[in-house]
């Protein structure tokens, strides 16, 4: 069995993990669970990009995608840690309930900064405009 056929056997497994990550992201209601699901999806996509083992372009694209993905993961984790630092909670519904009754300006600033970092990290991770290039 040559290497191209061996990779074609692995492709459906990687595609299954991408679909599993996409469907689990829809039902996530916690920041850490959403982060773990997105990372499951991202690792599978890294392996799909690097599917052609002997192509230099495929390996270069996978490496660049991995570096950009690790940068966006760092942004997401920093944002989640800022939100957890200020509120002590990672559940999205509980955070919304706490923020509805919190009026301290320092807490609002830290939460807004954390939420901005999480959103920017997800935009990088999903390749949304203007972070797609």
Query: Residue 29's domain spans which residues?
Result: 3-126
Number of domains in the chain: 1
Q: Can you tell me the mean pLDDT for 106-124?
A: 90
Summarize pLDDT for 31-63 with one digit per residue, the tens.
999 999 999 999 999 999 888 878 899 899 999
How many Cβ atoms sit within 10 Å of the Cβ of residue 5?
Answer: 8
Beta bridge partners of 91: 30
Residue 10: inside a domain: yes
Residue 132: inside a domain: no
CB neighbour list of residue 33: distance below 8 Å, 6 or more residues apart: none
Residue 131: inside a domain: no
* pLDDT category of residue 1 using cuts at 50, 70 and 90: very low
Give the predicted TM-score (pTM) of the model.
0.86
């Amino acid at each position: 069995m040559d290497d191209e056929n061996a990779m074609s056997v692995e492709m459906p497994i990687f595609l299954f993990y991408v679909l599993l990550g996409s469907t689990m992201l829809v039902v996530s209601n916690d920041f850490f669970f959403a982060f773990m699901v997105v990372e499951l999806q991202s690792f599978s996509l890294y392996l799909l990009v690097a599917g052609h083992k002997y192509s230099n372009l495929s390996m270069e694209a996978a490496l660049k995608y991995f570096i950009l993905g690790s940068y966006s993961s760092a942004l997401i984790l920093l944002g989640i840690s800022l939100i957890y630092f200020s509120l002590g909670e990672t559940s999205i519904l509980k955070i919304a309930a706490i923020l509805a009754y919190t009026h301290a300006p320092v807490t609002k600033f830290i939460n807004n900064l954390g939420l901005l970092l999480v959103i920017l990290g997800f935009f990088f991770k999903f390749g949304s405009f203007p972070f797609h290039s």
